[in-house]
A and B are shown apart, each in its own frame.
Chain A
């Protein structure tokens, strides 16, 4: 049994609520001093919340935090820093036009006279740089530095303030693979110098590469703690997803399967210009649901976007009903795709699926506002719109039964039911659905799954991207797995289980057969 003092950070039943939502539910985390400790979990698992409590950004609603055995209450980040906790945020806390030196000393200048403060900080930093093997251009404005170097500035900033425990929040999200390697080398160096590193990510290979211990979070709880040597990426993937969903509607055999959508060697870049899709090929046939699995951030978002005309492809081609709709230099806009019979239920509902401040009624026509049943000569047909909305509300059992309310004031499940009603209303030949039940309550989940299955049974094609493996196992005919922008393989649902999918999600190619 380790002594209290051997734990750099310990939380006991740490709890944080936001209104009715419990973001962190009785977390008991133990981080051994002098180790690299990983926390993994899907988006929304509650990782950020616990970090913000450890750094004094949020105050816990229950439980306690101990740092090197001493109970601690952090009213603000300054208090956490004084206790030796440093944090490197996902979005850097740097003042872009300031030099590296100015950024590092901001808030810890010591002197009132800036020239004097600069001189002292420079001396101290040169020592620190030598100790940890940094070589940063102290007098260069931060805005001129590449991302990886900015991150080093953040790390040095924390060390300069005397951090013993360094929290890195999704540090590799913005890095190239080479920069990530350099970061890992630095993390090992910090550990060798006796520092404790808390490393938060949803990328499993990084956990395997750099941590000593790993804690898995799901739905605001800690679901597992492992020594890294005793676990595998496959097991962690299984632990990260989960949540059993009952299968409802039976899938019927559907005759005459034509190819609805075909991707051939499709490549694309993400917003930062990094390669996000690397030669992805697959087909979706009429009368089937193709599920796309994978840990978030492995190219699924970009995949949805290239198919629905929101992002250009940099290589390969996409064919719809045999006609090429996307290729390098060719983009078919979303409206034309809708008219060809493709519907899109967006992954990020509030960003691209609805206009939050518009009424539910207005949201039922978005994307179809030019269609003759909603407008004539550019004038909206408000009566028809109201009737349509009323129909959707009843068929989908949306509550509260008031289409005039802003859609943002409905629960996630009710919003999603409306979006699905809108997209399915025109009986699309292909439905592209991202995260069909994210943020949706259990009751609505079954309803949405039933609608997907019914649409499939009617002989239509569906492509569903989900972070929830059980969901995909419940509704798909075949499941394709993505890892780092590559389609690792496609498995018929009969041959798929969480274990095999978990391994594939960690990048392991499926063995032939």
Chain B
């Protein structure tokens, strides 16, 4: 009983940690797609931000400079994606994939050229990363039954960006549903012509949405390399951008359901970590390769329609042209 509780606490703690970049990237995709721009480049932007943040943090020794570098880098790629898909009316999926492929090659190459560590950045010390923040008395109350464990493991002990994420979710929801900007953003993803004839610039709105997505992706990437990890390693985003996209679809392009979907993915990921090397009753030990598949199998199942019909914003993925 005690063991099971301790397991659950640890699982929850690890769920929150792994879900943090997913939630941020999921919301990034959500902002872009609600405005009608498909953002399959979440993965690439996240990886670029992870690299930039780790590099800047390694050079300056400051996590906050790292964060700034991560945000700016991701924002630049977002603007590039915006230029291709909004201004030039290019194919949004191709543009996003191009960013993914470009960054996957470019980041380790630059890392190799700058740091000579075989495509990684130097290991970051605690000063240079967003280390776990221990809340007051976390250690002192850790031994108090139940509540102590909840407080010290689940509430306390996360990095600053994870706490920011807790605030970002309601902030995005508020922006979408409680502001004029949000109304227009949602409208432009459904029927850009209606927005245009209402006298609002479709181009400007879509750029704004894509750039908000860029900033959120920057946060997601930064937490990967300077919060959860301690430096950039090759392919460290490991498909999280795509998982976030799947979570956004599962969450029906809505902030809170997207958060829940990300937590589910995070939980499955945490679970597979716990299951490695464990022997289960009846089944025995599951080979690592199979447990690691879990989040992706879940993604396939969800997207194959087992979670019901999911309707994307109507104008999503379609460049806006004035005349047909």
Mark A residues whose CB is within 8 Å of B. 55, 57, 76-78, 81, 87, 89, 91, 93-98, 102-103, 106-109, 111-115, 117
Q: Is B309 close to A, CB under 8 A?
A: no
Query: What bracket does the count of chain B residues touching chain A fall in?
Result: 20 to 34
In the bound assembly, the distance between CA atoms of A103 and B186 in angstroms comes to 11
Q: Is the CB of B198 within 8 A of A107?
A: yes
Within 8 A of A (CB), among B181-195: 181-184, 186-187, 190-191, 193-195
In the bound assembly, the distance between CA atoms of A57 and B177 in angstroms comes to 30
Contacts of B186 in A (CB 8 A): 95, 98
Q: Is B314 close to A, CB under 8 A?
A: yes
Q: Is the CB of B190 within 8 A of A95?
A: yes
Known: A96-B190, A98-B190. A108 touches B179 (CB 8 A): no
Q: Is B139 close to A, CB under 8 A?
A: no
In the complex, residue of chain A having the shortest beta-carbon distance to the beta carbon of B198: A107
In the bound assembly, the distance between CA atoms of A95 and B205 in angstroms comes to 16
In the complex, residue of chain B having the shortest beta-carbon distance to the beta carbon of A110: B180
Q: Is the CB of B179 within 8 A of A94?
A: no
In the complex, residue of chain A having the shortest beta-carbon distance to the beta carbon of B190: A95
Contacts of B178 in A (CB 8 A): 113-115
In the bound assembly, the distance between CA atoms of A93 and B183 in angstroms comes to 15
Contacts of B184 in A (CB 8 A): 106-107
A-B contact pairs, 6 of them (CB 8 A): A91-B193, A93-B194, A96-B190, A107-B199, A111-B180, A114-B183
Q: Is the CB of A109 within 8 A of B180?
A: yes
List 14 additional A-B contacts (Cβ < 8 Å) besides A93-B194, A97-B190.
A76-B199, A77-B199, A81-B199, A87-B197, A93-B191, A94-B194, A95-B194, A96-B314, A106-B184, A107-B198, A107-B200, A113-B178, A113-B179, A114-B180
Q: Nearest Cβ in chain B — how far from A170, in angstroms?
A: 16
Contacts of A112 in B (CB 8 A): 179-181
Q: Nearest Cβ in chain A — how far from B285, in angstroms?
A: 49
Q: Is the CB of A95 within 8 A of B197?
A: no
Contacts of A97 in B (CB 8 A): 190
Contacts of B193 in A (CB 8 A): 91, 93
Contacts of B195 in A (CB 8 A): 106-107
Nearest 6 CB-CB pairs, A to B? A78-B199, A107-B198, A93-B194, A109-B180, A95-B190, A95-B187
Q: Is the CB of A114 within 8 A of B179?
A: yes
Q: Is B278 close to A, CB under 8 A?
A: no
Q: Nearest Cβ in chain B — how far from A100, in angstroms?
A: 13
In the bound assembly, the distance between CA atoms of A76 and B199 in angstroms comes to 7
Q: Is B196 close to A, CB under 8 A?
A: yes
Within the complex, which residue of A94, A95, A113 is in contact with B180, where a contact is CB–CB below 8 Å?
Answer: A113
Contacts of A106 in B (CB 8 A): 183-184, 187, 194-195, 198, 200
Q: Nearest Cβ in chain A — how far from B311, in angstroms?
A: 9
Q: Nearest Cβ in chain B — how far from A58, in angstroms?
A: 8
In the complex, residue of chain A having the shortest beta-carbon distance to the beta carbon of B313: A97
Mark B residues whose CB is within 8 Å of A. 177-184, 186-187, 190-191, 193-200, 314, 322
In the bound assembly, the distance between CA atoms of A96 and B314 in angstroms comes to 9
User: Main SS of the interface on chain A?
Assistant: loop
Q: Is the CB of B191 within 8 A of A94?
A: yes
Contacts of B314 in A (CB 8 A): 96
Q: Is the CB of B196 within 8 A of A77?
A: yes
Q: Nearest Cβ in chain A — how far from B165, in angstroms?
A: 24
In the complex, residue of chain A having the shortest beta-carbon distance to the beta carbon of B324: A91
In the complex, residue of chain A having the shortest beta-carbon distance to the beta carbon of B311: A97
Contacts of A98 in B (CB 8 A): 183, 186-187, 190
Within the complex, which residue of B177, B197, B200 is in contact with A114, where a contact is CB–CB below 8 Å?
Answer: B177
Q: Nearest Cβ in chain A — how far from B199, in angstroms?
A: 3
Contacts of B194 in A (CB 8 A): 93-95, 103, 106
In the bound assembly, the distance between CA atoms of A91 and B191 in angstroms comes to 11
Contacts of A78 in B (CB 8 A): 198-200
Known: A113-B179, A114-B183. A89 touches B197 (CB 8 A): yes
Q: Is the CB of B182 within 8 A of A114?
A: yes
Contacts of B191 in A (CB 8 A): 93-96
Contacts of A114 in B (CB 8 A): 177-180, 182-183
Q: Nearest Cβ in chain B — how far from A157, in angstroms?
A: 8
Contacts of B196 in A (CB 8 A): 77
In the complex, residue of chain A having the shortest beta-carbon distance to the beta carbon of B184: A106
Q: Nearest Cβ in chain A — how far from B159, in angstroms?
A: 33
Q: Nearest Cβ in chain A — how far from B253, in angstroms?
A: 11
Contacts of A117 in B (CB 8 A): 180
Q: Nearest Cβ in chain A — how far from B202, in angstroms?
A: 11
Contacts of B190 in A (CB 8 A): 95-98
Q: Is the CB of A93 within 8 A of B177?
A: no
A103, A106, A111, A112: which has the most chain B beta carbons within 10 Å? Answer: A106
Contacts of A77 in B (CB 8 A): 196-199
Contacts of B198 in A (CB 8 A): 77-78, 93, 106-108
Contacts of A107 in B (CB 8 A): 184, 195, 198-200
Q: Nearest Cβ in chain A — how far from B198, in angstroms?
A: 3
In the bound assembly, the distance between CA atoms of A97 and B200 in angstroms comes to 19
In the bound assembly, the distance between CA atoms of A442 and B182 in angstroms comes to 54
In the complex, residue of chain B having the shortest beta-carbon distance to the beta carbon of A80: B199
In the complex, residue of chain A having the shortest beta-carbon distance to the beta carbon of B315: A95
Q: Is the CB of B179 within 8 A of A102?
A: no
Q: Nearest Cβ in chain A — how far from B73, in angstroms?
A: 30
Within the complex, which residue of B177, B183, B322 is in contact with A109, where a contact is CB–CB below 8 Å?
Answer: B183
Q: Nearest Cβ in chain A — how far from B117, in angstroms?
A: 49
